[in-house]
């Protein structure tokens, strides 16, 4: 799941990015308001973390611009502790949640999962489809009447993407976009390789190939 982290504090941004990657997000960092506007317009993010104090402007203006341009991925804003005005302005500008600095990464991750779930109309912290259950917190796959398996970060991200919209065909390009950030340089056949590995766990029928189009998760019995 692609995540845009807008934060000009280099140390905080880099540390946070690696922890968010571990939690199953593919993270791009924007360090200025200009970069944030550009990436938000161009890339297909599922969620954003937005610092308000940026060197070339306010995060609030970035958020207003995104929303005016119908860029609607859920956004959590980072505010200074105790600044209630920031929180109110952030929510009014179209933020979905906020967190005061300093914060625990675990709380940030839980809140990000929560706003993504709300956006997808889910209540539970798992994705269920076709007799399979994906646990977001533990990155495991449970098979109905079978075992439970830990997934690698990439396996988890790929399966999460497919299982969150059963029946929808995802092209290889769309899957690559959700799996990798702008700095990654994966090879062309990486999706095929991961689909093959996932089919060993899920059985041959759960992930269908549509020739020339892509892949879909089939949740019909």
Residues in touch with Ca ion (CB under 5 A): 8, 51, 53
d(CA 151, CA 221): 24
- Compute the least distance from the CB of residue 7 to Ca ion, in Å: 7
- Compute the least distance from the CB of residue 51 to Ca ion, in Å: 4
d(CA 18, CA 79): 21
Q: Which is nearer to Ca ion, 32 or 174 (CB)?
A: 32
Q: Which is nearer to Ca ion, 98 or 194 (CB)?
A: 98
Q: Which is nearer to Ca ion, 8 or 28 (CB)?
A: 8
Q: Which is nearer to Ca ion, 53 or 119 (CB)?
A: 53
CB of 134 within 8 A of CB of 127?
yes
Q: How distant, in Å, are the alpha carbons of 38, 65, 93, 104, 114 from that of 78? A: 20, 18, 14, 12, 16
d(CA 128, CA 134): 6
> What three-state secondary structure class fits 193?
helix
What is the rounded end-to-end Cα distance, in angstroms, of the chain? 27
> What three-state secondary structure class fits 36?
helix
d(CA 8, CA 30): 7
Q: Which is nearer to Ca ion, 34 or 208 (CB)?
A: 34
- Compute the least distance from the CB of residue 146 to Ca ion, in Å: 47
CB of 141 within 8 A of CB of 149?
yes
- Compute the least distance from the CB of residue 50 to Ca ion, in Å: 10
Q: Which is nearer to Ca ion, 8 or 97 (CB)?
A: 8
- Compute the least distance from the CB of residue 147 to Ca ion, in Å: 45
- Compute the least distance from the CB of residue 122 to Ca ion, in Å: 32
d(CA 50, CA 188): 32
């Amino acid at each position: 799941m692609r995540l845009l982290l807008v934060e000009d504090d280099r140390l905080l941004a880099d540390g946070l990015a690696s922890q968010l990657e571990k939690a199953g997000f593919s993270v791009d960092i924007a360090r200025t308001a200009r970069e944030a506007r550009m990436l938000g317009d161009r890339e297909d993010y599922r969620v954003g973390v937005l610092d308000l104090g940026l060197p070339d402007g306010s995060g609030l203006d970035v958020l207003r611009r995104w929303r005016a341009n119908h860029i609607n991925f859920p956004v959590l804003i980072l505010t200074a502790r105790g600044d209630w005005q920031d929180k109110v302005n952030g929510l009014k500008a179209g933020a979905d949640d906020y967190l005061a600095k300093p914060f625990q990464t675990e709380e940030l991750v839980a809140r990000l999962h929560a706003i993504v779930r709300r956006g997808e109309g889910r209540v539970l912290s798992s994705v269920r489809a076709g007799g399979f259950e994906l646990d977001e917190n533990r990155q495991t796959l449970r098979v109905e009447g079978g075992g439970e398996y830990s997934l690698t970060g990439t396996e988890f991200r790929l399966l999460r993407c497919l299982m969150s919209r059963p029946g929808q065909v995802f092209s290889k390009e769309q899957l690559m976009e959700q799996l990798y950030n702008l700095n990654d340089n994966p090879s062309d056949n990486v999706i095929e390789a991961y689909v093959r590995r996932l089919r060993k766990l899920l059985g041959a029928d759960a992930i269908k190939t549509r020739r020339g189009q892509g892949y879909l998760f089939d949740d019909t019995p």
